[in-house]
Structures are given as structure tokens and as C-alpha cells.
Structure 1
Amino acid sequence: MDEAQRLATLRSLRAIGAPPGPAIEGAVRLAAHLMDCPIGLVTLIEDEIQWVKAVCGVDVCSMPRKDSFCVHALELPAHAVMVVEDATQDPRFVDNPNVTGSMNVRFYAGALLTASDGASLGALCVIDTKPRPRPNETLLDRLRDLARLVVGELERARADRLQRENQHMLAMVEGLSGVGHWRVDMMDQKVVWSDEVYAIHGLTRETYSPTFESALNFYPEADRAILSQHCERTMAGEGAFSVELSITRADGVKRRVVAKGAAELSLDGRSPAMFGVFQDVTDQREAMAVMERSRGRYKLLADHAADVIARVQLDGSSNYISPAIERLLGWTPTEMAGRSAAAFVHPEDRAQLDETFAEMGRGLDSATLEHRLLHRDGREVWGETRMQLIRDDAGRPVETVVVIRDISRRKSLETQLQLARAEAEAAATVKSEFLANMSHELRTPLTSIIGFTGLALEQDLPDAARSYIGRVDNAGRALLCTVNDILDFSKLEAGQVVIRPQPMDVVALSAATLELFTPQAGAKDLALTLDADPAPPVVADADRLRQIMLNLVGNAVKFTATGEVRLEVRWSPESERLRVAVHDTGAGIPADKLDRLFRRFSQVDGAQNKAVGGTGLGLAICKGLAEAMGGAIGAESVEGQGSVFWFDIPAPRAEREVAPATTPMAAAEVGGLKVLIADDHPANRELARAFLSGMGVEVEDAVDGLAAVECAGRTTYDVILMDMRMPGLGGREALKAIREGAGPNRLTPILAYTADAGEGLEADLRAEGFCGAVSKPVAAEALIRAVAEALQTKDFTA
């Protein structure tokens, strides 16, 4: 036997560390007495240590295996005895510490402890401190007998322990399973119950001693007769029985039980005893009844549900399909039996279904698929299939519960929706292009009207002519305001307004905005007041803030005859929100008409608005801009006392300071510059030429984008003014051609001359390579300032 098997047998005894017991201690003492030796030991040899199980004559409990005498006995046959007459003369032990040390071992005789499976566990040995001759065989046989006694005691202890463990395990199993066991000795009618049988009867061992007759009294009369008959047949040799009966427990509670029994037959064919098991199945029966009722309800639901319910194996075969399948696909459950689920799925969608079943087999708990099914008549039916994995008690995937819903109508609606969305997107694209064209087509003639009337007003004119031209100028500017309102509102409705938050000084912006209305307020003797607390730089869209402020302050000045207009600006460091309110001392708004504010094309007092002008879109635009910035807008008013219009937007503190505005080159410094103007409208070119030539600028013009590229390829310019919308080659394409060409103007600043410049597009234009933008209609001062600033900027792509 190899060492691993020997150690396994030794460890199965669990003898190391356990008390030796009287029998083993007596065997040690008897061996020492028989051999007339002062020391006796029972040793058990582990892989590294020799443990002493019992000892007399010396105080030792263990020693290293390499120092052991008994370990050498393990090399001998089973039940052998090893004798060392004088250890000092034996080469194996001459240097052993037990020989040279305090134990002073000289004589040793040890009988192997051989287990019933042949494993040598250790030895029963005697030791003397004096050399001795080999004992006679009679004494050695006595030593062997005592060794067998020790082994027998060790194995008996193991058997007792295993029996106790088995009994404990049986009790635990009975407690967990609810199954007890019983035995009846037919010779003396003695009845033995396990603890679980007592528990099923509501009794304990201390309060009741069962007999065959008294045990029958727990059953009703009919069941008692049935049980007695089964017992008699079994005792007569007709075989085992199993029967379900009722009992009334000691506490009066009725239970359902299953009793099983068999006979123990003796050699002469008689039955000296009967044994069996006993189980309370009341809860199981109640659960089965509940399950059966639930199954009935489930079947009723499944059979009448609009959705198809099925149980599908992981290979695609079905255990159950509800009758709704006939309404969905025209097949009956019987006709579908034996066919896989994939057979009823559109060929193009079968791979998706197969992959899902494979994932379910790998442990995917649930899945939802949308795929096409094949109807009996050949048409396609869209279905939504929801799959839920079912596992067995060990957690292994078994099958899936499948619910299939007809989504053909939904898919049809989705298709219609996609078409409608595509049409809407196309319409939005058309509308966007229309707005861009309108912006260009409306503002381009206004550029000429406002620009040339401005130039004319600077001339020495007769009073009547000056009056007429002044009226044209006013009408043109009013028309520009109307056009701007309509285009702004259209862009808001189309969702084309982009909010570009930047660090800004809100107090400086408010002051500059309010200053623009000084002439109008002065003409009516109105006080303009800025009420603003010092505030740090915040992050917001300055252009959109200015647009709302201009509208609200402009309305307040327009509709206030006497008193004041106050612009109140507050920034909250706690909420990091900006609140702006415009207070006026005008006529106020009736309470029943406040709800008409901020509506498109709505005016509270048509007559008054007609007198001062306006489209009725200003407040609607303000509302759209405030909401686009994540804020809100509102108004309060008391008729006869005035109104307050306010808006509130998020404005987080800026992480960096606002860069101070660069000082533009003085207008006089543009003299001597050479500028190319590219625009397909002669009036626009002539107007720009008039503005710039008057400041000493040399101007050349190009009638379209292609002409602009040709001019830029042969002549050097200081600045190029490029119209964005020109036939043939537009402004963007012309810019790209100039930048990528080899001409002298690859690095020349190019300004976008556009009717859209005020629509938040300047940042995009700069990203495309323009150094800035000039908005149409353009004022002389704005054009000259833009040209001067273009010479200072390097923020464009070469």
C-alpha cells in the first residue's frame, strides 16, 4: 500500500489528538509489563510527525518522524514485529537523538498496528534503557495480540463515530425532508419511531410510547382498516405497500400522510419485523391543489388571450401554443405540433431567432425581438416576441416562455411616421433655405435703400427733398425692423436659433444697451436708469441677451409717455441665475389682457400699437430666446401705474475674466487701403464703394464669386468684402478657392458680407476662414470699422 493510502486510512480514524481510552491505555501498560520494560508507547505516524496515542514510563506526546524508531517498522509486512537489541550497535540508530539524548534508548520492540485494510498505522512498542536480547516468539506474539487489540479499539471508535454521524445525518435528512422512519417487531409488538414520526403526530418521546394498536388510533376508522389490511398483506409476503391516509394529531389537527412499509423476512420465511417511512404531505397536497387551480386559470387566460403564449424548448420545438396562434398566423396549435418555431418566421429573420435561442442556452434570461412571421396564406405579419428563460432547480436552462404580439399596425404606423418625418425634414430644409433666401432678398434692397438715403441726407438738399428722403429713411428702417422680427420668429419656430454662451460683462452690456435709447427717451423727457449691482463675469449669450433687452427697453420707451424707464439687473451667486427686469411708468396693461402678451402676432391695444408701429412678434421672440437659453419670461402690470417685464436665465460664473474689447483702428487710418468688393448686386457694390471711397479707400469690385477669385489671383488687396450668396460661385466657395490658390491673397483678411450675419453665424463663418462679418443693411460707420478691425485680426484660416 502506498503512503497516500496509508495516510488516508490513518486520518479516517481521527485518532490523533483524541483521548486514548481505557482499553488502549491498558494495552500499553500490559505490553510494558509483559516485556518487563520501563517504557511503553502506542504511536501513529503522520507524514512529518510521530504522534503518541498512549504512553507509560515517559512524558512525550510527539516527535519528528525522522527521529522515530517506529517509522522503520512501516517497511515490514503487516503485523510484523521489529526488534532492536542494542541501538548503539545498529547503524540506523547510532546517531538518533533518542539514543544519544536523555531518553537513552537501547532496546526497542514494536509490533505494527495494521488496520483491517492492511494499512500500517504505527506501532505498539516497548523501550528499555539497557541492551537486551531478542525476546522469544511467545512474548512477541503477545505483543502482536495487543497491537491487534489497539487497532480493533481504534476501528471500533471509528465505527461508533460513523454510526453517530449517520444517525445525526439521518435525523437531519428527516428534519429537512419531513420523512420519518418506523419499525415494528412482530415478535413482541414493539414499535420504534424516529423523531420525525413523533413530530408528525404532534408528540415527543418523553410524552408517548407507541404501540401498534395505539398508533392505529390516530387514523379515522376507514383509514385504520385500510392500513391494517396493507400491513397484513405485507406480513403475509405480498410485498411492500404505499398508502395515503388521514390522521388526527394529538393536538386535534388533521393531516394527510403517506405510509410506506416492507417486511423483514427471516431465513425460514417468517416475518419477524416490518419497517417503513412516514411523511406528512398535507402542505404538498394543498400546494398541488393551488397549482392545479392556478394551472386552470393560466390555461383559461392563455386560451383566450389576444397575444400568443407558448412554451418553446431551446431547440425551437414547442410544448404548448395557445389558440391565439390561429388568429395570428392561420394555423391551429395541432397543425403546428412537431414543427420548429423558425418554420413560421420569415427566412431573412431566422438567423436572429436562432442566435437568440443560442444565447438563451448560454444563460440569457430574457430577450425581445421584432421580426416578420409567415401567415398560412403567405402574407407577412410583423410580430413582437418576448422570451423569458425558465431554469430547473439546478439553475440549468430548460425552456422559454414566449409571448407573441401582432405589431403589424404599429409597424405600418412607424413606416408612415418615418415617411412623415422625412417629409417634415425635407420641408424644414426647404423652409431653412427659404428663410435664408428671404433674408438675402429682403435685406439686400434694404441695404441700398437705407445706405443711399443715409448718403443723400449727408448732402446739401432742399428742405422738401430732405424731408422726403428722411421719410424714406424712416420707412426703410421700420421695414428692416419688421423683416428682422419676422425672420427671427421664423428661425425660432424652425429651431434654427443657436445659443452660444461666452464669458461676458452683464453690467457693461446693460449700460451699453440702455445708452442706445437716450435719444428716444430724451425726446419724451423720460429718465433712463440702470439699477445693477456689481456682478462678476458670467457665461451667457451676449447677443441674445442684448436682443431681449433691446426689445423690452424699446417697448418701455415706446409705450411710456412720462416718468421713467428703469433697467434692473440682478445676479444670484447662490443659484447662478441672472434676472433682468424693465420697469416703466406707462399706462399699464389691464389684468384681463396680460395673458395675450408673448403670443405671436398679438397686440394688447391695437390702436395704440398702430400709432407706434410694430409686428406683434417682439415679445414672442423674447419668449423664444429666453426659453432657448433655459430661462423664463413674464410680466406684471397695474393699469394706470406702469408695468414690469422680466426674464430669468441660468448664468454660471465665468472661470476666466472677460477680455477687454480691442480698440479698433481709427476710421481715418483706413485711407490708402485697397479693398475688393464682391457682390452680384450693383447697388450693394456702389453703396460700399461710396462709404469706403469717402474715407480714402481704393475700391475694386467683382460681379460674382468667380470674378472675385480671378481678381484675387492677380492683384494684392488689403481686405476683401465677399457676398455670401452669388450665382455660380458663392462666397464660401470663393473663399476656399482663394485660400487654396497660389495667388497673392492667400492670407488676406476676407469679410463675409451677408444678410445672415446677425443670426449667430459669425462664429461659424470665422471657423470657415472668414475674419469677420458685415451685416446687411450696413451703415457706413459699421463697414469702415469692420474693414479697420479686419486688418488687426489674425483669427482666420489661411
Structure 2
Amino acid sequence: MRDLARLVVGDLERARADRLRRENQHMLAMVEGLSGVGHWRVDMIDNKVLWSDEVYAIHGVTRESFTPTFEEAVAFYPEDDRATLSAHWARTIAGEGPFSVELCINRADGVKRRVVAKGAAELSFDGQSPALFGVFQDVTAQREAMAVMERSRGRYKLLADNAADVIARVQLDGSSNYISPAIERLLGWTPNEMAGRPAAAFVHPEDRGQLAETFVAMGQGRSSATLEHRLLHRDGQIVWGETRMRLIRDASGRPVETVVVIRDISRRKALEAQLEQARAEAESAAAVKADFLANMSHELRTPLTSIIGFTGLALEQDLPNAARDYIGRVDNAGRALLCTVNDILDFSKLEAGQVAIRPQAMDVEALSRATLDLFTPQAGARDLNLTLDVGSVPGAIVADPDRLRQIMLNLVGNAVKFTEKGGVRLEVAWMAASERLRVAVHDTGAGIPADKLDHLFRRFSQIDGAGTRAAGGTGLGLSICKGLIEAMDGAIGAESVEGRGSTFWFEIPAPPAEAAAQPAASSMAAADVGGVRVLVADDHPANRELARAFLSGMGAAVEDAVDGPSAVEAANSRRYDVILMDLRMPGMGGREALDLIRAGAGPNRETPVLAYTADAGEGLEANLIHDGFCGAVSKPVGAEALIRAVADALQSDDIA
């Protein structure tokens, strides 16, 4: 019984050992399948070869269809790899230790695989090497991935090495991993000389703070940044760079480094500096030009004030016919010169973009009629018919009446000037659908050749011809009209048939006004200045005398001041109803005199003060009102305009 028990126990132990062995083999097969690593053994005595299932799979054969021998196993390798493998085996058998080698195998199905073979000697008790054993791993996928990565890295490096911009990989602490060769062209340093050094070392000291803040922000997760800063060249020169940064994260999303692209923008910065200098010079030149125009306006308008004013007074006297004719010619010449001055000033304002458009409720029919009435004497002298054709126009539209009057005066004036017989018709229409005003001036003059129409609205351009030369002019009128209309978002044009006449038209936006238009300024007859005490301060005796003649003729009491100090003295000693103050007086100008009057304790601290000026500039009156004046009287001034201005000033509450 005891022997039987031993037999049973032995059988059980063998069965359990077999089961454990099978389980281990199954576990090993699973591990090999998952890892792609198989094992092998070669018996050096009988050349018997043992492969695991994974080794069979790597070679593309099955255990049922292929039984490996030493010669057949080696046949899978190319000739060169066979020699390599044999050399490794020989060294291992000779006791030089394990081997590891990467080889190529040509599978039976024609597929080539890259494998890593590792092996060691299985020594017997007597120290001999009866067998070799090891592992076999298919690394084809890894090698292909590495090859793709290397090709990508190679292309990236090729692009980076040959790019005009500097490309760098920078750690979050500011040290660099890679810098492209373009850095030497940019800063004179080679990549090796810069490697490991902080980026701030090559940045202008004043810009390092900006760079440091950007790197901190990138380290905190900011994905990208762009900044312009100065760099330091090896020779000490400053180079402007535009640096673009993009944050690189690892698989877990943690920031690891920054890819930096630096572009040389020194030329752009130099151009910007030149443009800024040119802009500053242009602004300075514009200021000089504005001062020149103001001075020119003053110097021209001041004598024109006397010429036009006194000729007007003379023409009111009982004169012999010859004298009246002579003085009339002087008056016409003075007014023509004034038109030329105004054209030049308006053109300069348009060229500088300094023309302001001030839309307001206005009566376009009344404005058109008043404009046409101004040319009645001139047209009557030439036996021309003047007609006004007004369509369905709202009682009030929103537009700039001063600019509209200026444009109409120019177009109607040209039509009358160049028409020998027949007449001139002013046509006004309002288009309700588009809320635009259309004005057309038709004449029966000589007309304009078709090939000359394109030149009409060019500055300093006049149509050649005896009639044009006789009419004179600067050639700026139509150009100014075009500029004003375009400033109002409108359009202007002309049609003409040579020998039959011309039509000049323009359109501007003109929505209907919600409120009624302001009534026209009162006439001189309606302006009551009788008994009004007026102080006229002007350093030119002729200007004082002219103002006195205009105002005293309507019953005003006028006193003179020859300069700023005498004006202040007079204002501090007696009460006036209105003060007419020249702006440009030697020593003390009108503005300074006004400030002293307002600040003093005299009786005229709140008296309305009119600026009496030959200056010209866009926004001049608004600036004067801001300075404390109640309005402005522009030289040369006519009697009606001066008397109306004084009458309006008496009713003004705008005292600063």
C-alpha cells in the first residue's frame, strides 16, 4: 500500500508540474504576443533550433508548415547580415558575453522586416557551450516611425538652417536648445557661441523687461506672443527684431519649450522713422504754410479793406461821370483781387483737409434766389436773361448754406461771365427717394469742346481761348467747387455742346430738416445802430476811418483806439455798447487786450467784443468765440455786413 501511495503521489506531482508548465508556456506565449518579443534556442551539438510562436509569426511562417533548422533559419537573412550574426555568435560561444544586433529578414511572403536579436551562451557544467538562447523582437514599426521622424526633423532642420528668419527652440528659463544659422547674419554670433546662453544677453537692456514678462507669460500657459524689440549685434550695433513665440506642450499638456522666430525689421523701422520724420516735417511745413497764408491774408486784405471800402463810399457821392467810371473800375479790380485771394485760401484749406462742413436747416429756394439776384446788374448790362427754376423742394433742408452759396456763386458767375447772348437758368430740384439736392446751371454760351471737359475740375486749369483769357481768373474756382462738394459726399459734373451752351450740375445729400430754416440775416435798413457807442481799435488809420464812416452814417457814436493799450485804457474809463477789436496790432494784439478788459474792473467787462480781422482760417470764428469774442468781422468788410454785425452783437449773450 505504501508503494502504491508513493506512485499515486508521484503521478499527482507530475500532473501538477505538467499543468504549471503548460500554464507558464501559455502565459509566456501571451506575453510574447503582446510585446512582440519571441524567444529562441539553438542546440550547438545537434544544430536543433527551437522557436516560440512569436518568432514564427515574425518570420511569417507557422509551426505546422515549417520546422527550422540552423541552415534554414540563417537563410532568412541577407548575406551581409548572415556574416554579422555569425561573428556575434562566435564571440558569444568563445565566452565574450551576450550579443545584441539589429538585422533584416526576408520573409517567405516577400515582406522585409527589421528585427533585433539578443542572445547568450547556455553553459554546461564543464564550461562548454552546448546551446545559445535569446530573444527576437520585430522593430519594423519603430524603425519606420523613427525614419519618418528623422525625415521630418531633417526637413525642419533644412528649412530652419536655410530660412532668412532666425528659428530657435528656447527653454522656459530662456536658454536655447537650437538656433538656426541665420542668427549669424542677424547678430554676428554663431549658434554654437550662443548655445546655452540666456536670450536676454542679446537683447537691448531697455527691452529685457518686456522679453522677461513674455517668457513668464509663456511659462504660465500663454500659447503665443509677438513683440518688437531691439537686439544687440556682435559689433555693438542695434538691430530691430520682430519675435514671434509659440508654446510647445508635452503629451500631458505641460509647457516644455517655446519655438521662437525672429525677423529682422530694421529696414522697416528705419522706413517708419523716415515716415515719422516726413510726417513731422510735413506738419511743420503745413504750420509754416498756415502761418504764411494767415500773414498773406492779413497783408492783402488790409489794403483791400481801404480800396473796396472807400471806393464804395466814393461811389455813393455825386461824382462826374468820368470820375465815377474810374472809381468803379478800381472797385471792380479790388473785388476781383479779393476773389483771387479767397480762391487761393480756400484751395489751400481743401488741400490740407481743413475745410469744415457745417450742415444746418436752410431755405434753399431763398438762397438760390438771393444768389441769382446778385448777378442782376451784370446780366442786365449784357442783356442776359436770368431765370430761376425751383422744383418741389422742402421748405427747409439740411446742408451748409455758406458752402452752397459759394458753389452757386461760382457756377452762376462763370455762366454769366462766358455767355454773350441768351441767358442763364438756375435749376434747383430735390429728389425725395434719395434725399439729395440737385442744382444745375444752364447757359447759352459758346460751349466747351468735348475733349476739354475732363480738364474743367483740375486745379489751375482753364480752357484755352480768347474768351477765357479775357474773363481772367485763377483756374481754381471749379476745383474748389469739386473739393467742397466731395467734402459734402456729393458729386459734380458738366455737359456741353460746342456752340450751344453748357450745363454744370452738382448733387449733395440734403435730408429734409425737422425744424424750419432760420430767417435770413436782417438787411442794413432793418439794423438799428442809432445812438450806439462803438469803440474801434485798429492800428491802421484807414481801417478806423472806414469803420467810423460806415457806422456813423447809420447814427452810431464812434471812438478810436490806435493800439491794444489805448483800447484797454478807453475800455476801462468809459462804457461802450460794442467794441470792434483788430486782432493783429503791434505790441499788444486783440486777444491780449480782450483778456485785460475782461479781467479788469472797468465798465466793459461784459461788453460784446467783435474781432475785426483780416485773418482767414477754417474754424477761426469758433476759436475766437472760445477766446471770448462774440463774433468776427472779416476784412475787407462792406457797410451792410459791418452794421449787421454790430446790430447782432448788441443782441448777443455769448460773452466769455
TM-score, scaled relative to structure 1: 0.66
User: Contact 2:76–2:106 (CA<8 Å) still a contact in 1?
Assistant: no
The counterpart of 2:188, out of the listed 317, 326, 330, is 330
Offset at 1:526? 2.1
User: Contact 2:169–2:257 (CA<8 Å) still a contact in 1?
Assistant: no
Offset at 1:781? 1.3
User: Contact 2:441–2:505 (CA<8 Å) still a contact in 1?
Assistant: yes
1:53-97: CA deviation from partner (whole Å, max 9, x where unpaired): xxxxxxxxxxxxxxxxxxxxxxxxxxxxxxxxxxxxxxxxxxxxx
User: Contact 1:665–1:788 (CA<8 Å) still a contact in 2?
Assistant: no
Residue 347 (structure 1) aligned with residue 205 (structure 2):
yes
Offset at 1:713? 1.6
User: Contact 1:668–1:695 (CA<8 Å) still a contact in 2?
Assistant: no
Offset at 1:683? 0.5
User: Contact 1:678–1:685 (CA<8 Å) still a contact in 2?
Assistant: yes
How many Å separate the matches in 1 of 2:278 and 2:480?
A: 28
- Relative to structure 1, the CA distance from residue 383 to residue 669 in structure 2 (aligned partners, 3 Å threshold; closer, same or farther) is closer
Spell out the pairing of 1:459-498 with structure 2 (5 A cutoff).
Answer: 459-498=317-356
Offset at 1:670? 1.4
How many Å separate the matches in 1 of 2:75 and 2:422?
A: 107
Aligned to 1:44: none
How many Å separate the matches in 2 of 1:566 and 1:220?
A: 112
Residue 392 (structure 1) aligned with residue 249 (structure 2):
yes
- Relative to structure 1, the CA distance from residue 448 to residue 531 in structure 2 (aligned partners, 3 Å threshold; closer, same or farther) is same
1:483-519: CA deviation from partner (whole Å, max 9, x where unpaired): 2222222332333322333343434433332332233
The counterpart of 2:77, out of the listed 212, 218, 222, is 222
User: Contact 1:529–1:564 (CA<8 Å) still a contact in 2?
Assistant: no
Aligned to 2:528, what secondary structure does the other structure show? Answer: helix
Aligned to 1:422: 280
- Relative to structure 1, the CA distance from residue 328 to residue 570 in structure 2 (aligned partners, 3 Å threshold; closer, same or farther) is same
Aligned to 2:77, what secondary structure does the other structure show? Answer: helix
- Relative to structure 1, the CA distance from residue 546 to residue 258 in structure 2 (aligned partners, 3 Å threshold; closer, same or farther) is farther
The counterpart of 2:386, out of the listed 527, 531, 538, is 527
The counterpart of 1:382, out of the listed 218, 232, 239, is 239
Spell out the pairing of 1:687-702 with structure 2 (5 A cutoff).
Answer: 687-702=546-561
Worse-matched range after superposition: 425-434 or 392-401: 392-401
- Relative to structure 1, the CA distance from residue 512 to residue 289 in structure 2 (aligned partners, 3 Å threshold; closer, same or farther) is same
User: Contact 1:505–1:658 (CA<8 Å) still a contact in 2?
Assistant: yes
1:614-648: CA deviation from partner (whole Å, max 9, x where unpaired): 12211122122223333333322221222222233
Counterpart of 1:221, as a letter, is: F
Aligned to 1:605: 464
How many Å separate the matches in 1 of 2:499 and 2:171?
A: 81
Counterpart of 1:639, as a letter, is: E
Aligned to 1:297: 158
Spell out the pairing of 1:140-151 with structure 2 (5 A cutoff).
Answer: none
Aligned to 2:177, what secondary structure does the other structure show? Answer: strand
Aligned to 2:585, what secondary structure does the other structure show? Answer: coil
Aligned to 1:670, what secondary structure does the other structure show? Answer: coil
Counterpart of 1:382, as a letter, is: V
Q: Unpaired runs of 5+ in structure 1? A: 1-166
How many Å separate the matches in 1 of 2:65 and 2:348?
A: 100
How many Å separate the matches in 1 of 2:240 and 2:185?
A: 13
Offset at 1:283? 5.7
User: Contact 1:724–1:754 (CA<8 Å) still a contact in 2?
Assistant: yes
How many Å separate the matches in 1 of 2:513 and 2:575?
A: 42
How many Å separate the matches in 1 of 2:333 and 2:436?
A: 39
Spell out the pairing of 1:307-706 with structure 2 (5 A cutoff).
Answer: 307-362=165-220, 363-376=222-235, 379-394=236-251, 395=253, 396-405=255-264, 407=266, 409-523=267-381, 524-535=383-394, 537-652=396-511, 654=513, 656-661=515-520, 666-667=525-526, 669-706=528-565
Choose 1 or 2 for highest CA Rg.
Answer: 1
User: Contact 1:514–1:530 (CA<8 Å) still a contact in 2?
Assistant: no
1:139-184: CA deviation from partner (whole Å, max 9, x where unpaired): xxxxxxxxxxxxxxxxxxxxxxxxxxxx9xx9xxx9xxxx765778
Offset at 1:214? 9.0
Identity, in percent, stands at: 62
User: Contact 2:426–2:441 (CA<8 Å) still a contact in 1?
Assistant: yes
Offset at 1:451? 0.9
User: Contact 2:307–2:334 (CA<8 Å) still a contact in 1?
Assistant: yes
Aligned to 1:450, what secondary structure does the other structure show? Answer: helix
How many Å separate the matches in 1 of 2:279 and 2:133?
A: 91
Offset at 1:448? 0.9
How many Å separate the matches in 2 of 1:534 and 1:712?
A: 49
How many Å separate the matches in 2 of 1:331 and 1:668?
A: 85
Number of residue equivalences: 602
Q: Unpaired runs of 5+ in structure 2? A: 1-29, 42-49, 123-130
Counterpart of 1:495, as a letter, is: G
- Relative to structure 1, the CA distance from residue 689 to residue 665 in structure 2 (aligned partners, 3 Å threshold; closer, same or farther) is closer
Offset at 1:682? 0.8
Offset at 1:691? 0.8
User: Contact 1:309–1:404 (CA<8 Å) still a contact in 2?
Assistant: no
Counterpart of 1:358, as a letter, is: V
Instruction: Report the RMSD for the aligned CA atoms in angstroms.
Output: 4.2
Offset at 1:344? 2.9
User: Contact 1:311–1:319 (CA<8 Å) still a contact in 2?
Assistant: yes
Aligned to 1:288: 149
Q: Which of 1 and 2 has higher RCO (CA within 8 Å, sep 6+)?
A: 2
Aligned to 1:36: none
User: Contact 2:119–2:132 (CA<8 Å) still a contact in 1?
Assistant: no
Offset at 1:420? 3.6
Offset at 1:604? 0.3
